[in-house]
A and B are shown apart, each in its own frame.
Chain A
């Protein structure tokens, strides 16, 4: 622990123990406790590092006149200290444990009625109950009954904490399985003592749960829900003995609750049953199966479908119930669409009640949505669990989509009359539409889905064409379309008509009045190009025909659309970049338009997208170029490198920090590329931080490479990479400065040689001669300032001036009035104090404010301000205001 903190702590304890003093704010005690919890977790003993705490707890524990918040804090702190046996023993020796955890003590003081104290007591106990001694204390002090009473506390927080403590006790002190017991070093006696006490606790608690469930199950739902949650938690984590005991105790109560069929308890009950079911032995318990079956025979469609969904989500290997759950989940879809997914077998009773439920608009939509969200999962189940082939489910979802768009009625079936009533609830419901589209997207992976491709496209295109489709519905339709398209590499599986329709709908939507729609359309075009990797057989294929639309979208009034269009352009061109296709006139035009956007667009999104466009272009090209060939052999290399130069200069001068970060990412790629071409080392996708292997290899290089290194460095200077990095370093936005700093450190480590070695220094002569230009204003000046301050740190001022190789060029003075300077790159890199800078930049901007030291100081200051003889109450506030 920080020495300064240790020295402040006694003062703080004094402040807290003094009832008259105030705290800076009501979160400070929580922060303090968090700090102590952190300290004890890291392994140190709290009492050893902060001996004053013992005194604090014993004083505070007996001073009932204190603020309940402080008392609650002390209780939890005491628990934290007593969490270790040693701490517990010390506290017990001072009778602190007996005092503070004795509820009578608080009741006598009239404080027990304060929920703050009760919750402190509970959480203190929970902190403490980590070892057998604590359990013995708990049992011997007879606290179990009180804890059980607190389950029904009037305060929700207290009740919930008490319930958690119950769970904690049962789970924490479970006897370890015999196989595990050997290695742990626990002695048999040790455990025996505990197990007697533990067994007693288990009996009491399970009796309590059983009694409460059967008496309150039907009346007090809130309490029952809480008990069931506790039970589910316990069953999920309990070992076999505990689990069996619990199940034996609550089995009948559960049965009664299931039979009562209360809707609010459906999900919690299901959780309990499933928790018990899933952790059981390989063969499912007969009682549990019965419970599950009776859950599945409730005649309330909403409850039933929820239970079925919960069951399926668990993914249990229980084929009987799975078959049933699947049937229940598919029933609404079967009824609404009139497709017989289930055949006519059984379910008749449920069919009637579900059909009635579906006539009510709200429950209709919620039932259908639940059904739809589960369909993708259902289709992936083993075939013998399904009532129909997965393809039929896809067809049913498509039918539902058609009904919902008002296009189609349900197919004629005996229940057709109820269908018309139901379809009225579904027509135009965008919630159902969205849910069904999401389901449809996920259904693309279902077995045999590919055969449904044309049907799927027909419905999706209908949605995309419909004037009434909501923008979010259109977006989801596009997403579904992409998912299904990704099953193939081109659109040849579609009928000619569908391909035409797709094209015309995209053409129309890209002109939509709503920008959200234009945006998703443009995005779709990009993604489609990414998905359809094999060349289109038809000349008017989708990517080719949509390229002009994207160019048009670059002019859009909405910046999101422009940004998406730029992104989509990059996606459509990725393949041709990678394959090194020759540049077309159109591409050249696009590039100049993009540079125009970067330099002139008023919105950050579009500019960010431009930088990313060039990042993907550059990485596509460099991933294509083999180690032996460099980018210069690429057909459109000169356009690319010229553009990159402009991007670096515009991007690093941008006002938007994200644009600058993206620009630095481009600089990183350039650095990678530059050094890769020279030495051919392995590329790594992540940033430069901590890659010692590369540095080593560079350092062991022989002479003869120095001139190449100088060349690389010169080209980087000429491209503007160095300027971009340096300007980033002094940027006021931390993420920009941090990224630039990391890159500069890497660069420095790459170009610097061991200056001690004579050979090296001679060899580096040419490298050190490489210089870059610093503008006489803005970042150039900032860099100069940094250099000057650094040089004053370690040597004379002359050194700093020596770094600057030359002053202003004659007569070529900058417009802004400043003088341009040239500086040696290597020297600058060495002299900027990059490592210190990285340390500072790596810390979050509020690290000072959030430190424990600051917290302790705040507490001291606040109390000092409050108790200062000359301050009037309220004066502090006035000072704050002015």
Chain B
């Protein structure tokens, strides 16, 4: 059993598991942090961005004026942003049989895998994962295609040139495999390969293994996966949460008794408690609005935003914000808000029960009804006529490199009354803000990451007790910035197996058993004999039939009776005449009784020698040795066949025949 690690990102994993002749890809997360190296894509022409100076090396020998621009002391690539896709060279992606998706954040690289690689397998995901994942992909494509950039910068990626570049660009890794965003057509094609599954549904893969998604409590339709054969069980834990937010709670008990547990997707903010952050978010928001400023919340169009809106719904009145407008701007804003209301079966119990009441599960419906929350596909169109300040705007993309958020950054960045509140933990907020510096706007970092923290995960592992744990290497040491926090790492016995991008791990367990079926008629013919109290043994002679990874023992076909014909015998292969199998022997020879028996047969001079495994009997008169060992008996007797036969028969008396 092997694990190929195609992504090193702990929360955007992409691993391939080879298990019992199947090749299973676990998630295909897209690492979008690479876009931080690019200039923002403004929706409206920005004089500031267009006037940025190009970059020329100090000695003037390298001129990349067209590709790289200097902004606020840093150098950015002026081109369509590119993403760091999963490794494609580690193994042949066309051999992948299935892809299991655990949540909509972990499927964003799907088109890169399923298209143009020869992939012919199936993708398994739950319905909300598929639908919301589609929305997020659509949004991403929309953000990119709305502001097309003809130019594609490649010169800077030249190894020789990259070496002399300043700052983070110099240290960017795998820049050659960075890819531009996919197209809507590729998205549709990729998603057409998705087959929907429900929680705990068991899907057979070629009869060899069974996979089954379990609720993971992190987002709508998010799941962990169990991959098991008859005798082995691998659990794949991706983004999971034990907090009571909107999704169904996490199913922990089904993870028990795993041989291997692959652990990914822990919180990226182990020191930031989501409740505390939510509190910070609200108080900073209220503080800014009271002072007459606007609040900008760069966020994804699904996920935490539902919880933010729910929290605000309760907070608005207590903070006297009843008259402040809240805007949600995204190409998929409307679908996201509405989808969330219809996935009732995927919601937590509390919200599910609301389905039977004349009120929607999420309170944002009421915010919309009362005109407190308004949503628009983009800043163009209706929004501009309705726009009223001070206000709160939720919009993407959290990297601040594309999407409507770029416009608000340009609009509000200059006033210290306004505040930007980061809630998504995926991007370093300082890097996200870099191309907007100098910035007068207040910045608040309230990353809300509801995924498991180290305390919760060690409790979970104590409960489910897997034999081995595999996890990204980040989890085996404290965060680099907080090396004293030994509580922020996994400490297990045996220690977890760490992986990084491009690792290939041999998972440390051997398959020892295989299930074999036996046909009833064959079973009927068996004659068990009891060898120990409660244990019976029978010998079986049969033909092993293997098909679709199922093994069946069938009776040996009887040779067809030779038809009484006078025709000349056809030249046909005679079935080999199988001699009746010799009976198998079992049992041990008791020394004392054996000696007595020997004596009865006139063999008296026996010297018994004790060895590590049993005894050696030296029949001195006959010059013969009998070795009685745990797993074998030997009679060494030169040129005296009758004696040997006698002795053999004496030994056999003490053994049982099956």
Contacts and interface: CB of A to CB of B under 8 A. Distances in A.
A468 B318 contact: no
Given A409-B484, A508-B284, A508-B287, A552 B320 contact: yes
Q: Which 10 A-B pairs give the minimum distances between C-beta atoms? A: A409-B484, A467-B276, A511-B286, A511-B283, A557-B318, A468-B276, A467-B280, A513-B279, A424-B487, A513-B282
Max count, chain A CB within 10 A of own CB: residue among B273, B282, B283, B482: B283
Interface in B273-291: 273, 276-280, 282-287, 290
Contact of B317 (A424, A507, A514, A557): A557
A427 B478 CA distance: 14
Interface in A390-435: 406, 408-410, 420-421, 423-424, 427
B494 to A, nearest CB: 20
Contact of A406 (B282, B287, B485): B485
15 contacts: A406-B482, A409-B484, A409-B485, A420-B484, A427-B487, A467-B272, A467-B446, A468-B273, A508-B283, A511-B285, A512-B279, A513-B311, A513-B318, A552-B320, A558-B318
B271 A406 contact: yes
Interface residues of A, number: 26
Contacts of A424: 486-487
A555 B287 contact: no
A527 interface: no
Contacts of B484: 408-410, 420, 423
Contact of B320 (A410, A507, A555): A555
A629 B52 CA distance: 73
A876 B576 CA distance: 104
Contacts of B487: 424, 427
B319 interface: yes
Given A406-B482, A421-B486, A509-B283, 11 more contacts: A406-B271, A409-B485, A423-B484, A466-B276, A507-B287, A508-B283, A508-B284, A512-B282, A513-B278, A513-B282, A552-B320
Interface residues of B, number: 27
Interface string B283-310: 1111100100000000000000000000
Contacts of B320: 552, 555
Interface in B456-487: 482, 484-487
B315 interface: yes
A654 interface: no
B315 A513 contact: yes
Interface of B: 271-273, 276-280, 282-287, 290, 311, 315, 317-320, 446, 482, 484-487
B319 A511 contact: yes
Interface string A526-557: 00000000000000000000000000100111
Chain A contact surface mostly: loop
B312 to A, nearest CB: 10
A429 to B, nearest CB: 11
A403 to B, nearest CB: 9
Max count, chain B CB within 10 A of own CB: residue among A408, A513, A514, A556: A513
A849 to B, nearest CB: 45
Given A511-B282, A513-B282, A427 B485 contact: yes
Nearest to A469: B276
Max count, chain B CB within 10 A of own CB: residue among A410, A468, A511: A511
A467 B282 contact: no
Given A467-B273, A467-B276, A557-B317, A513 B486 contact: no
Contacts of A423: 484, 486
A208 B371 CA distance: 85
A431 B232 CA distance: 45
A512 B277 CA distance: 11
A516 B484 CA distance: 32
Nearest to A509: B283
B279 A467 contact: yes
B290 A511 contact: yes
Interface string A496-520: 0000000000011101111100000
Contact of A556 (B273, B318, B446, B485): B318
Contacts of B285: 511
A514 B279 contact: yes
Contacts of B284: 508, 511
B268 to A, nearest CB: 16
Contacts of B271: 406
Max count, chain A CB within 10 A of own CB: residue among B277, B285, B290, B318: B318
A427 B453 CA distance: 14
Nearest to B290: A552
Max count, chain A CB within 10 A of own CB: residue among B273, B482, B484: B484
Nearest to B279: A513
Contacts of A406: 271, 482, 485
Interface in A543-578: 552, 555-558
A549 to B, nearest CB: 9
Interface string A478-511: 0000000000000000000000000000011101
Given A468-B273, A468-B276, A512 B283 contact: yes
A467 B274 CA distance: 9
A515 B280 CA distance: 14
A845 to B, nearest CB: 39
Contacts of B282: 511-513
Nearest to A504: B287
B395 to A, nearest CB: 23
Contacts of A410: 484
A420 B486 contact: yes
A271 to B, nearest CB: 39
Contacts of A509: 283
A507 B315 CA distance: 17
Nearest to A470: B276
A467 B277 contact: yes
A558 B284 CA distance: 19
Nearest to A514: B279
Contacts of B286: 511
Contacts of A427: 485, 487
Given A424-B487, A467-B273, A511 B287 contact: yes
